[in-house]
């Protein structure tokens, strides 16, 4: 009985991003940077070294003018469920610095445990993990804008999108104070969801039929990235364009149907 209750209580926080609405403006990226104390350097144009938890990719259909099409795809951490919480990164971390939380479905990153071996970066098929090659430096006075809810990362550790877990903690604390154990949908939203000027990002509990994501993930327009790998990502995308849905996974050229 206790086990059943536990399972019923378990959340599976996830995201649905409507690519038909996304304009690729990058507000999600910047809102994320401001929320999560992401540092910046003088030259950030080498994207392999640039730290952004949520990167907006530009996809093209590769057709010549005027049949060309482009689509932007914001990519946070997929918070892969894997099988029994064995997401690719969690499985390889020798330091237990990253963990799959069965209560929320969030893949955590504990900076003080991380010793920078970067196995997780190699294991992650989505390139969501980023390494701090340098200590973060803020120009004089700019450290004033740092958010006390999120620790600043030091050189030598890996970081990634946390689904703004600190917002979950704050919301839960408030709920406990009010004698509640459950959160309303609006009480826990990530910074990118909140900021998106197009309202393209929806966030919530994928297990909860009352949450918008529960319905949206079942849309015929829905797909996930690299589904064939069996990582069971918790970020869904919606697109009415067939080539965009196809671009979500690796396909052979003659292959028409998604598996």
Partner 1 sequence: MAFGIGGAVGTALSPLPWKLTDDLSIWTQNWPWTPVPPHGEVTQVDSVCTLCPGGCGISVRKVEDRVVKIEGMPGHPVNDGGICLLGASGAQLLYGPSRIEGPLKRVGRRGDGRWQPVSWKAAVAEVAGKLGVLRSGGEPHTLGCLLRSDRGTVPGLFSRLLTVFGSPNLMRMPSIQDTYELTLYQMQGALALPGFDVDNTDFLLSFGSGYIQGWGSPVHMFRAHSRWRNRGGRVVQVEPRLSISAAKADDWLAIKPGTEAALAMGLSHVIITESLYDRDFIENRCRGFESWVDAEGRIQPGFKQRVLNTYTPAKVSEITGIAAADVVRLARDFAKAARPLAICGRGRGRVPGDLGAFMAVHALNALCGSIQRAGGVWAVPEPDYINWFQPEMDKVAATGMQQSRLDGAGGPQYPLARYLTSYLAEIINAGKGYPLKALLVAGDNPAYTLPAGGNVRKALDSIPFIVSFSSFMDETTRMADLVLPNHIYLERLEDVPLAQGFSRPLVQLCKPVTAPQFNTRHSGDVVIDIARALGGSVATAFPWKSYADCLKETLGGNFQKLMRQVYMVGRGTGAPGHNAAFETASGKFEFTNPEFKIRPDYEPIEAEGDAASFPLVLVPYDSMRLASGFVADSPFMVKAVDDTVLKGRDILVEINPQTARKYGLADGAIALLRTPRGKARVKIYHFEGLMPGLVAMPTGLGHSAYDEYIGGKGVNFNRLIGPVQDPVSGLDAAWGIRAKLTRV
Binding site for partner 1 (CB under 8 A): 18, 20-21, 23-27, 29-31, 33-35, 37, 40, 42-47, 50, 52, 56, 58, 60, 62-66, 68-72, 115-116, 135-148, 151-157, 191, 194-200
* Residue nearer to partner 1 on the CB measure, 32 or 80: 32
Residue with smaller CB distance to partner 1, 140 or 178: 140
Closest distance of CB 7 from partner 1, Å? 34
Shortest approach of partner 1 to residue 166 CB, angstroms? 12
**Bridge partner list, 20:** none
Q: How far is the CB of 156 from partner 1 (least distance, A)?
A: 6
What's the CA gap between 241 and 107, in Å, rounded? 30
Smallest gap from Cβ 145 to partner 1, in A, equals 4
Taking the least distance from each CB to partner 1, the nearer of 31 and 80 is 31
Between 12 and 167, CB nearer to partner 1: 167
Q: How far is the CB of 144 from partner 1 (least distance, A)?
A: 5
What's the CA gap between 117 and 52, in Å, rounded? 20
Least distance to partner 1, CB of residue 137, Å = 8
CB of 23 to partner 1, least distance (A): 4
Our CB check for partner 1 shows the closer of 73 and 80 to be 73
Nearer to partner 1, 11 or 167 (CB): 167
Q: Rounded to the nearest 10 degrees, how much is the dihedral formed by the CA atoms of 123, 126, 128, 133?
A: 60
User: Considering beta carbons, is residue 19 or 235 the nearer one to partner 1?
Assistant: 19
Two tokens, residue 204: 């919530």
């Amino acid at each position: 009985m206790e086990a059943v209750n536990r399972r019923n209580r378990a959340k599976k926080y996830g995201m649905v991003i409507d690519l038909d609405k996304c304009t690729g403006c990058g507000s999600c990226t910047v809102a994320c940077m401001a929320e999560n104390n992401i540092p910046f350097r003088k030259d950030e144009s080498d994207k392999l070294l640039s730290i952004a938890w949520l990167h907006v990719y530009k996809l093209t259909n590769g057709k010549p003018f005027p049949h060309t099409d482009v689509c932007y795809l914001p990519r946070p951490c997929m918070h892969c469920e894997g099988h029994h919480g064995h997401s690719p990164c969690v499985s390889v971390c020798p330091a237990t610095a990253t963990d799959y939380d069965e209560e929320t479905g969030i893949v955590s990153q504990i900076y003080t445990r991380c010793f920078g071996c970067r196995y997780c970066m190699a294991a992650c098929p989505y390139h969501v993990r980023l390494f701090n090659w340098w200590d973060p430096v803020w120009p004089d006075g700019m450290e004033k804008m740092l958010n006390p809810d999120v620790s600043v990362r030091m050189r030598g550790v890996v970081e990634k999108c946390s689904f703004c877990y600190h917002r979950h903690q704050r919301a839960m604390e408030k709920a406990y104070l009010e004698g509640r154990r459950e959160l309303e949908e609006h009480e826990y939203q990530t910074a990118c969801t909140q900021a998106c000027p197009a309202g393209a990002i929806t966030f919530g509990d994928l297990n909860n039929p009352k949450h918008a994501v529960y319905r949206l993930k079942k849309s015929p327009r829905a797909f996930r990235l690299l589904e064939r790998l069996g990582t069971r990502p918790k970020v869904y995308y919606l697109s009415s364009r067939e080539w965009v849905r196809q671009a979500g996974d690796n396909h052979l050229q003659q292959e028409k149907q998604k598996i």
